[in-house]
Copies of this chain bind each other. A is one copy, B any other.
């Protein structure tokens, strides 16, 4: 059962279809702007109004990716995947498990959006770039590579580091407790070792 949701209907006001120009990626960059403006819903839903943007989250994920030690990992590939993995949220928004949208519908909207962005906005300017972004986004969605697996884990870890920062700001270890269940979905040994040290730092902070 699919809805009528269509990425075209969710373009920012200042991005007109007329702006789609074979020689100008400006319209695409103006869509990306939404990732800078939109705040992460998980925090807003918990009354943390002065919180990070979606772009802020992906930014720190990309820096974390640069520090992976596992010699089997192509770190530059992880950096790219971290930067594109939430790109569809520029038009879809940041849907959480608590929103009245099924997981399947969320996935469909994001898939339609990334195709829309790549085919209608990037491809005309740079065909290779459109394919690379599509490939990196798909790799993440399907956990189709070791690099995608690491970025999945870093997505959780970055969120937990941020969660701890907000808990310290609130001086409250209970309000955001539900986020910590993500600990269990971190699969790689290296990122799980980061998580364990984060848990220890948090325990020490709230015991002091």
Contacts and interface: CB of A to CB of B under 8 A. Distances in A.
A26 B59 contact: no
Contact of A59 (B24, B56, B75): B56
A63 interface: yes
Interface residues of A, number: 51
B194 A26 contact: yes
A7 B197 CA distance: 25
Given A59-B55, A60-B32, A64-B29, A125 B23 contact: no
Q: How many copies does the complex hold?
A: 2
A9 to B, nearest CB: 21
A201 interface: yes
Main secondary structure of the interface of A (DSSP, over half): helix
Interface in A188-208: 193-194, 197-198, 201
Interface in A154-189: 158, 161-162, 165, 168
Nearest to A136: B66
A59 B80 contact: no
Contacts of A168: 14
